[in-house]
Structure 1
C-alpha cells in the first residue's frame, strides 16, 4: 500500500478526536489523533486496531525477563524473591568457590570461607559474582602473605646475624639452650606463641632464655624429668648419642653431652657408664 493510501486511512478518523502530544520544546499540545506520528507505522486501520487490542491484553502482565526492584515498603520476602530472580542460591552453601593453586603449607580456614558465603548471601550476590570476586581477591591475599613471610625472614636472619657477631661458633649451642629452656618453662604452648608472634626470632629473647637455661635445665633434671625439655626415654637418649654434638669429637658440644649424661642419671640412678645400657 502506498504512502498516500496510508495517509488516506488516517484522514478518515474524525477531526474532533484529539490527543495530547509533547512537542520538541517539551510542552504538551493537543493535536488531532489522525496526525499522531505513532499511526504512521501501521499500513491500515485494521493493523492499528489489532495493535491496540494486543496492547490492552498485555496491560497488568509482567513481561518476560522483567524483575521489579523492591522499594522501601517491601519486606524480607519481596527482597528474597528479588535476589532469587537475579540468581542467588537458596542457601549460603550454594556458592561454589573455584579451585585455585595454593602455596605449600598455606591453608584457607573453613570458618573464613563460610563467612564469605554468608556475607555474599546476605548481599544477594550471584554465584558468578562471588566466584569472580574470589578469583580476584585470593591472589592479593597470597601476595600479601608472601610479603609478610619475606619480611619475617629478613628480620629472622638479621637477628641471627647479630647473635653470630657476638657468640660466633657458640651460636648453635646458644640457640639449642634457649629452645630447651623455653620448652622447659612453658612447654609446647610457649614455643607456639613465640613462633606465632615472631618473638622467638628476636636476639634479645633468645639471649634471655639462653641465660636462664643453666638454672632451668640443671635444677629441673636433679628433681624431675620435666625440666629435661623433652620426653625422657631410652629411645630419645639413643637418638641424641648419634647426634654429632655428642658422637663427633670435632663437633662435640659440652652442654649437649651434659644433657645426655643427666638423662642417664635420671633414668638409671647410681654408677653408670654412658652407652653401657643402650
Structure 2
C-alpha cells in the first residue's frame, strides 16, 4: 500500500499525480456504477499531458449552450410554414404533393390502385416532409406488401367458404343447392337487401350454421305465405307459378294487358317475398 506521504511512482503517467481522494462515478462494462479515483478514469488516457486535458475541459465549457458547427434544427409544427417548407425543400422534398414520382409496379390482373388513395399517400408524405427518394422507396416496398396481405386474406376467406360448404354437403348431400336457395330467399324476405349486404360484408353469410338457420326458417317465412286466401289466391303460390303468370299476354302484352291480372302478380310477389320488393327483381 502506498504511503500518503510517499505517492506511488508516476513512471511518466501524469494521471498518477492526481490525488487519490478525487473520485468520480463510473459505469463498468457490466452496467454497474461505482466511484473510482479520477486518475483511473479511462477517458483521461486520451490526453498525453495534463495540459491537453485542461485545454479540452476549457473548450468543452466554452461550447456549452452553443450550436455545434453543421447542426441544423428540425422545424416544429409551431414554426413559420415558410421556414418549414424551406427546410424540407433543402432536404429534397418536392414543392407540391403531386410532384412525387411514384414508380411503376406491375399489378396482378384485376387489381388497380385508387387515385384517391394515391393522392392521400402523396399528401401525407408531403406533410411529413419526406423526400422524393424516400417516398418512392416506401411506395415500392409498401404496395406489394398490401397486395400480398390482401391475397392472403382472400385465400383464407375462400378456404373458409369451401370448408363451410363441405360441411353443408356432408349433411344435405344432393339437397344442398335447394337448401342454399331457401336460405338466401328467407334472409332476403326477412331483412331485404340490407340484411344480405350485412351477411356478405361480415362473412356470416358463408357460415354453415347461419345458412342452416335460415334454411330451417324457410317453411315459416316462405311457404306460410304461399296460400293466400286473403290475397285472392286459391292455389299454391310459388316462384315457378309467378314466372308462368308473367308469360301470360295479360301481363306482358301492352295490348292485352289486364290491370287486375297484373295486380294479382304484384301481390303474389309481395306475398312470396315480403319486405323490400322490386317487381321482377327476384326472378
TM-score (norm 2): 0.53
The corresponding residue for 1:50 is none
Counterpart mapping for 1:211-226 below 5 A: 211-218=216-223
The corresponding residue for 1:80 is 85
1:27 aligns with 2:52: yes
When residues 260 and 139 of structure 1 are mapped into structure 2, their CA distance, relative to the original with a 3 A threshold, is same
Q: Which runs of 4+ in 1 moved over 6 A?
A: none
Gaps of 5+ in 2: 1-46, 56-69, 229-236, 252-260, 266-283
The corresponding residue for 1:261 is 241
Gaps of 5+ in 1: 1-22, 31-65, 224-256, 271-278
The corresponding residue for 1:176 is 181
Determine helix, strand or coil for the equivalent of 2:214: helix
1:114 alignment partner, one of 119, 124, 133: 119
Conservation of the 8 A alpha-carbon contact between 1:221 and 1:262:
no
When residues 126 and 158 of structure 1 are mapped into structure 2, their CA distance, relative to the original with a 3 A threshold, is same
The corresponding residue for 1:125 is 130
The corresponding residue for 1:201 is 206
TM-score (norm 1): 0.54
Conservation of the 8 A alpha-carbon contact between 1:68 and 1:82:
no
When residues 221 and 106 of structure 1 are mapped into structure 2, their CA distance, relative to the original with a 3 A threshold, is farther
Report how far residue 141 of structure 1 moved.
Answer: 1.2
**CA distance in 1: counterparts of 2:216 and 2:71, whole angstroms:** 73
Conservation of the 8 A alpha-carbon contact between 1:70 and 1:78:
no
1:139 alignment partner, one of 136, 141, 144: 144
Q: Which has the higher helix share?
A: 1
Report how far residue 265 of structure 1 moved.
Answer: 4.9
Conservation of the 8 A alpha-carbon contact between 1:69 and 1:82:
no
Determine helix, strand or coil for the equivalent of 1:27: helix
Residue deviations 1:103-161, cap 9 Å, x none? 34434344433332222111111222111111111111111111111111221111111
**CA distance in 2: counterparts of 1:204 and 1:29, whole angstroms:** 83
When residues 172 and 27 of structure 1 are mapped into structure 2, their CA distance, relative to the original with a 3 A threshold, is same
Conservation of the 8 A alpha-carbon contact between 2:75 and 2:87:
no
1:103 aligns with 2:108: yes
**CA distance in 1: counterparts of 2:186 and 2:112, whole angstroms:** 31
**CA distance in 1: counterparts of 2:197 and 2:106, whole angstroms:** 27
Considering only aligned residues, what root-mean-square deviation do their CA atoms show, in Å?
3.4
Residue deviations 1:154-188, cap 9 Å, x none? 21111111111111110011111112222233333
Residue deviations 1:61-97, cap 9 Å, x none? xxxxx99544669533212101112221222222232
Residue deviations 1:33-67, cap 9 Å, x none? xxxxxxxxxxxxxxxxxxxxxxxxxxxxxxxxx99
The corresponding residue for 2:39 is none
Determine helix, strand or coil for the equivalent of 1:125: coil
1:188 aligns with 2:193: yes
1:94 aligns with 2:99: yes
User: Number of aligned pairs?
Assistant: 180
The corresponding residue for 1:159 is 164
Determine helix, strand or coil for the equivalent of 2:222: helix
